[in-house]
Every structure is written in structure tokens, then in C-alpha cells.
């Protein structure tokens, strides 16, 4: 590569770095929002960056149960707690407080960009023309935490799908399940079953059963990362009998996934 071309690339990289910094830092509004992923629940799965963001904040906002998971970090801070299904209200309040000059930590379980608050905050900020500085702080997702407890089920290509049809029509979810099953991808299923919503998991299992053997390994994590954690191993034929609820994650293996002793492994293809 010539020195001229190398110089152009260096200048372009410098320009993009400055643009990124300006996007997050050089705002006229004194307030700021950290959208923080606190991991699946326990303090051992929180990142140092997440804890530092909460420490810098004067206000911490989140779903009531998630705020309890970081109570050890929020002494002396204002707490904004809302219940389930009040995500839009929660994000609006966080933006309003930041626009008033506060430093706000808006928390999500797992990673805020995986079924969390990151997208909603950015959408609302764009819709209202907010000039608040926003920083997304990644976290350990529930799927990754469960995978580590199971062994190595996500070693190769995989997908994540939520079975909740509260925001996405079930027909759309069903089509995605069909595509993932046919593509022989390992899948992590979020929001698999609730007291009122039971048929979705049964239908998902039937879709995968048409494409995979009943002996395909399935792992279930309940309350992963908390003192109530339960890790259960089963297979595609029988896993629906496990006590699966909204605090659960289900990982379904692909055609090459297998049990190795008590581990759940999807080989990457090293030819061992």
C-alpha cells in the first residue's frame, strides 16, 4: 500500500473516531444516559464498566426487580422503578431527567441491546430530537450465561429468538422458527413460557422436532446467575415437561450437538 493511500485511510479512521466521540460526548446538554447491561442477575456476572457507569450516575432507572439486583450499587442514588410493560414510560423519564442535567443509569438485565432498553432509548431520543449524550454499556446476556453453565452449546452458528408475541406477531415468530430450524442453527429461546402463554413453546418444539431428532440435546436455565439458578439438561422430545417459565432460557442444539458426560457441546469442526 502506498504512503498516500495509507495516509488517506489514517485520516478517515481519525475522522470516524472523532465522529464517534462527538456522538457520545460533545453535546451541549449537561445530562447523560448510560444504558447499562447488568448481566443475568448475580454480581459476579456484572462487568466493571457496568458498575462504574452506575457509580457515576445520580439517578438509576429500571424494572423493579432489576433494581433489586443492583441495590448494592445504588445507595444514596435516586431510583426510578416501573413495572413490566412500562418500558416506554421508564425510558421517557430517564431521558427527561438527563435533559434536566442528571447522569442517569437506565438498566437492563443481560445485555441492553438484546431484548433490552438500548433500542427504545435511541428511538425515543431520535423521535424527540433529544441532544442527551447516550452510552450503551454491554453486559453478559442470559444466553451466554446459560451456555457457559451448560458447556459449549453456542460454539458454532446460532440464533436467538423471543417467543413473546406481545410486540411481534406470532406469525412472524413462527416463520423465524421455521427458518432457524431448517437452517440447522442452534437456538436460544427467550421468554419461552408464561402462565397465560403456553402454546408458543409447544409449537416451537413441534417445529424443531420436524427438522431434528428427538434426542437432540436441550438445555434449560431458570433464574440464571441468581441464587435460585437451576440448570437442567434434557432433549427435544421431553424438555417441555420441565418447569419452564418467563425467567427461563432454552437452548436447543443442532444436528451435530451432543452430550459429552454432563456437558452440552456443539462441535465447531476441529476433527477431534
Higher pLDDT, 195 or 38: 38
**What pLDDT, in 10s, does the model give residues 109-166?**
999 999 999 999 999 999 999 989 999 999 999 999 999 999 999 999 999 999 999 9
> Going by DSSP bridges, is the β-strand pair 59-63/78-82 parallel, antiparallel, or unpaired?
parallel
Higher pLDDT, 192 or 21: 192
**What pLDDT, in 10s, does the model give residues 52-73?**
999 999 999 999 999 999 999 9
Inform me whether the pLDDT recorded for 199 exceeds 60.
Answer: yes
DSSP string, the chain: --HHHHHHHHHHHHHHHHHHHHHHT--SSS-EEEEEE-BSSSGGGS-HHHHHHHHH-SEEEEEHHHHHHTGGG-TTSEEEEE-TT-HHHHHHHHHHHHHTT-EEEEEESB-TTSSSSHHHHHHHHHHHT---EEEEE----HHHHHHHHHEETTSS-EEEEE---SSS-HHHHHHHHHHHHHTT-EEEEES---SS--HHHHHHHHHHHHHS-TT-EEEEEESTTSTT-EEEEEETTTGGGS---TTEEEEE--TT-EEETTEEE---S---
Inform me whether the pLDDT recorded for 195 exceeds 60.
Answer: yes
Confidence class for position 83, pLDDT limits 50, 70, 90: confident
| Domain covering 143-265, topology | 3.30.950
Where does CATH 3.30.950.10 sit in the chain?
143-265
Determine the angle formed by the axes of helices 87-99 and 118-128, rounding to 10 degrees.
Answer: 60
Where does CATH 3.40.1010.10 sit in the chain?
31-140
**What is the rounded CA–CA span in Å between residue 170 and residue 144?**
25
pTM: 0.86
Inform me whether the pLDDT recorded for 21 exceeds 60.
Answer: no
**What pLDDT, in 10s, does the model give residues 23-34?**
544 556 679 999
Cell triple for 227: 441464587
pLDDT attached to residue 190: 97
**What is the rounded CA–CA span in Å between residue 215 and residue 173?**
24
pLDDT attached to residue 178: 98
Domain 31-140 has CATH 3.50.50.60: no
**What is the rounded CA–CA span in Å between residue 149 and residue 188?**
14
Mean of per-residue pLDDT scores for the chain? 90
Amino acid at each position: 500500500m502506498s504512503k498516500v493511500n495509507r495516509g488517506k485511510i489514517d485520516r478517515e479512521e481519525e475522522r470516524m473516531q472523532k465522529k464517534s466521540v462527538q456522538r457520545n460526548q460533545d453535546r451541549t446538554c449537561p445530562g447523560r444516559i448510560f444504558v447499562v447491561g447488568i448481566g443475568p442477575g448475580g454480581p459476579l456476572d456484572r462487568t466493571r464498566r457496568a458498575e462504574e457507569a452506575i457509580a457515576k450516575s445520580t439517578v438509576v432507572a429500571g424494572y423493579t426487580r432489576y433494581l433489586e439486583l443492583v441495590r448494592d450499587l445504588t445507595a444514596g442514588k435516586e431510583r426510578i422503578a416501573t413495572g413490566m410493560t412500562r418500558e416506554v414510560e421508564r425510558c421517557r423519564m430517564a431521558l427527561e431527567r438527563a435533559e434536566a442535567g442528571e447522569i442517569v443509569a437506565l438498566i437492563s438485565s443481560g445485555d441492553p441491546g438484546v431484548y433490552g432498553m438500548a433500542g427504545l432509548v435511541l428511538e425515543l431520543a431520535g423521535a424527540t430530537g433529544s441532544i442527551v449524550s447516550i452510552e450503551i454499556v454491554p453486559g453478559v446476556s442470559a444466553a451466554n450465561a446459560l451456555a457457559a453453565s451448560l458447556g459449549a452449546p453456542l460454539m458454532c452458528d446460532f440464533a436467538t429468538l423471543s417467543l413473546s408475541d406481545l410486540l411481534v406477531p406470532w406469525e412472524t415468530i413462527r416463520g423465524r422458527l421455521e427458518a432457524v430450524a431448517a437452517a440447522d442453527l442452534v437456538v436460544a429461546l427467550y421468554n419461552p413460557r408464561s402462565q397465560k402463554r403456553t402454546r408458543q413453546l409447544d409449537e416451537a418444539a413441534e417445529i424443531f422436532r420436524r427438522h431434528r431428532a428427538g434426542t437432540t440435546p436441550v438445555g434449560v436455565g431458570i433464574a440464571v446467575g441468581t441464587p435460585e439458578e437451576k440448570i437442567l439438561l434434557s432433549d427435544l422430545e421431553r424438555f417441555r415437561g420441565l418447569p419452564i417459565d418467563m425467567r427461563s432460557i432454552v437452548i436447543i442444539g443442532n444436528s451435530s450437538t451432543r452430550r459429552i458426560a454432563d456437558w452440552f457441546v456443539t462441535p465447531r469442526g476441529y476433527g477431534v
